[in-house]
Amino acid sequence: MKIQFTPTSLPESGQLIVLVKENAPLSSLGQTLDDQTHGALTKSMRVEGFTGKQGELINLVAPNNTKLDRILLLGVGGNSALEVQQAADTIIHQIETFKLSTINVLAEEDEQAAQFAYGVQLSNYRFDKYRTRQELQAKCLLESVTIATPTPTAAEQIHTPLNAVAEGIYITRDLIWEPANVIYPQSFADFCLGLDIEGLSVEVVNSQQMAELGMGALLGVGQGSAFESLMVILKYQGREDNESPVAFLGKGVTFDSGGLSLKPNSSMNTMKEDMGGAATVTGLMVALAKRKANINAVGVLGLVENMPSDKAQRPSDVVTSMSGQTIEVMNTDAEGRLVLCDLLTYTQRQLKPKAMFDLATLTGAVLIALGEEIAGIFSNNDELAAQLTQAGEVEQEPVWRLPMGGQFDRLLDSTIADMRNNGNKLRIGGASVAAQFLYRFIENDTPWVHIDIAGTAWTGEGQPNKPKGATGYGVRLLDRMVKEHFEK
C-alpha cells in the first residue's frame, strides 16, 4: 500500500474522506467543499445527527458541483491518536462496501494525518499468501492513500517511526500466520538472518552449543522433533556506549502438539501460533532498529518444535536447566516455561541486561481469566510493572498484573527434583504457577516482567486496528515502554 502526504488541497476526482472532530466545525477547506456543494455536507450532518463522534460516517455519493465519486465524512472524536487510528479502522471495514482501493483524505493537522495513515496500515492487513483462486482472495484492499495536510514534510516525520512499528507488526503477524511446515526452527532462524537492517545483528546458536551451555530444559522440549532446536539472538546497538541492554525474550515453539502429553485435535489446530512470543520479539526488534531507537536492546528467541516420537521426552523425565536446577517434567505440554527458563539464565549470565521482558503464549489459564484483549503480566519489580501498564493504556494493548507468591511456589514442589514443570493441583492458578516457575530462574533481582500473550496474540473476531487472526499484540506495547522509559 502506497501512502503519501500532500499539501492541503481538494482532489478533482475519486473518493474523498473528510476527517471531522467531534462537536467542531468543518475545517476551512471542508467549509469550501460545503459551499461548493451548496451546503450538502452540513445539511447531511444535521439530518443524520452527525457530531463527529469517533467512527461516525456519512456517505455522500456523486456530490453536486464536483467530479468526486464520493465524499465520506468521518468522525475522529476528540482527535487523540487512538481515536484517529480507530477512525481509520472504520474506513477499512467499509472498503468493500464502497469499493475503495484508492482514497484521498483531508486532514486538519499533520499529527492527525500521520495517525490516520498509521491506523490504515494497522487495519489494512490480510494474509493471502496461500490463496490461489481469485474469488478467495481479498475482494478489496487499499492500494493507495493520499492525505492532504498543512505541512506534508512534518506529517512524514511524525509518520516515519510509526511506519517502523507498523512494519514490525506486519512481520509479527506474518510469522504467526505462516503454517508450521513453512515456519520451523531453521526457517525462522533463516528469516532472522535475512533481516538486513542497519544496527541489527543476528546470531544463531545451535543445539550442540546449547548442550555445551547446559540448556537441558530447552533441548528436552525439542528432542522429539525432526527439526533441530535453535536459539537466535538479535542485537540492536542504538547507542554508542556499552550501556547494558534491555532484553526481550520470546517463546518460539513453532508447533506444539503437546508432545507425549498429546493435545486433543481441537486444541492443536492453532498451535502454529505457539511461537507468538518469538514473533513479537522479532517484530519489536525490527521496529526499534528501523526507527533508530536510542537504546541498546537484545532479543533472544528459543526456537523448538514439540512433537511426539520415540525420541521425545516422557512425563516423569528429569532435565537439568542451564541454571543447574533440575526439573521433573510431569507434563510435556507445559513446555514453554522449559524453553523460557533457559533463555532467562542465558540472557542474565551472558548478556547482562538492565531489565528483561519475556513474551509467551504460555497458558490457557490467562485466556480464561482475561480474554482476548488483555495480557497477563507478572513481575518482581513494581515500577516496571506500573510502567508497562501505563504503556498498555496509551497504546490500547492493555495488561493486567496477576499475583505470584508462596502459595503458587509450593505447588511446584517435586518429590525427586528441585521442581516440577506444572502445579501439583491441576487447573489451580495455572498462569500464576507458570510465572512462579519462571521466577525461580531470576538471578540477583534482575528487573523482570513475564507477559502471557496466550489470549492476545490471536483473535477470533478482530478488534480495532487488529484484523482477525494474528494481532501483532506486544509490538506497540513494548515500543511505547522503550520510548517512555528506556530511551535517553
Q: Which domain holds residue 29?
A: 2-150
Residue 140 pLDDT greater than 70, yes or no: no
Q: How confident is the model at residue 448, as a pLDDT?
A: 98
- Cα angle 315-321-324, degrees, rounded to a multiple of 5: 125
Residue ranges for the binding site for Mn(2+)? 251, 256, 274, 333, 335
Q: What is the pLDDT of residues 275-287, one digit of tens each?
A: 999 999 999 999 9
* Distant-in-sequence, close-in-space partners of 67: CB < 8 Å, separation ≥ 6: 12, 13
User: Strand 102-106 relative to strand 458-459: parallel, antiparallel, unpaired?
Assistant: unpaired
pLDDT value of position 134: 66
Confidence of residue 35 (pLDDT cuts 50, 70, 90): very high
pLDDT digits (tens, 9 = 90+) for 6-21: 999 999 899 999 999 9
Task: Write the pLDDT tens digit of every residue in 160-186.
Answer: 999 999 999 999 999 999 999 999 999
Q: Do 478 and 453 sit in the same domain of this protein? A: yes
Q: Cβ(205)–Cβ(342) under 8 Å? A: no
pLDDT value of position 426? 84
Residues 99-139: pLDDT tens digits? 888 999 999 999 999 999 999 999 999 998 998 876 655 55
Same domain, 52 and 182: no
Residue 335, domain member (yes or no):
yes
Q: With bands split at pLDDT 50, 70 and 90, how would you rate the model's confidence at 227?
A: very high
Q: Which set of grid coordinates corresponds to residue 194?
A: 535475512
pLDDT, tens digit, 9 for 90 and up, residues 238-283: 998 889 999 999 999 999 999 999 999 988 999 999 999 999 999 9
Average pLDDT (26-44) is: 95
CA distances from 255 to 190, 231, 457 (A): 17, 16, 15
Last residue of a domain, one of 150, 183, 218: 150
In angstroms, the CA 48 to CA 257 distance is 53
72 shares its domain with 173? no
- Sheet with 246-256: list strands edge to edge: 200-205, 230-237, 296-306, 246-256, 355-360, 448-452, 375-379, 399-401
Same domain, 290 and 189: yes
Q: At CA 92, angle to CA 86 and CA 97, rounded to 5?
A: 135
Pair 172, 242 in one domain: yes
Q: What is the pLDDT of residue 236?
A: 98
Angle, helices 475-485 vs 382-395, to 10°: value is 120
- Whether residue 365 is contained in a domain is answered as yes
Ramachandran area for residue 405 (φ above 0: left; ψ -120 to 50: alpha; else beta): left
Do 115 and 241 sit in the same domain of this protein? no
pLDDT for residue 29 is more than 70: yes
Predicted pLDDT at 138: 54
Q: Which residue's entry shows cell 501505563?
A: 390
Regarding whether 189 and 145 lie in a shared domain, the answer is no
Amino acid (one-letter) located at 25: P
What integer best gives the mean pLDDT of the chain? 96
Taking only the tens place, the pLDDT of each residue in 394-438 is: 999 999 999 999 999 999 999 999 999 999 998 899 999 999 999
357 with 442, same domain: the answer is yes
CATH number for position 476:
3.40.630.10
How far apart are the C-alpha atoms of 143 and 88, rounded to whole Å? 14
**pTM of the predicted protein model:** 0.97
Q: Are 397 and 287 contained in the same domain?
A: yes
Quote the pLDDT of residue 240. Answer: 84
Assigned domain for 159 exists: no
Q: Is residue 321 within 8 Å of residue 217, measured between CB atoms?
A: yes
Q: Tell me the CATH number at 146.
A: 3.40.220.10
168 & 146 share domain = no
For the chain, give the percent of residues with pLDDT over 70.
Answer: 99
What is the C-alpha to C-alpha distance for residues 359 and 480, in angstroms, rounded to an integer? 16
CA dist 363 and 481 (Å) reads 24
pLDDT of the residue at 136: 58
CA distance 103 to 72: 10
Q: How many domains does the chain have?
A: 2
Residues 51, 199, single domain; the answer is: no
Closest by CA to 412, choosing from 296, 294, 330, 315, is 330
The set of catalytic residues is 263, 337
Q: Tell me the pLDDT tens digit for each residue of 298-351.
A: 999 999 999 999 999 999 999 999 999 999 999 999 999 999 999 999 999 999
Tell me whether residue 158 is in a domain.
Answer: no
User: Are residue 336 and residue 381 in the same domain, yes or no?
Assistant: yes
Does 156 fall in a domain? no
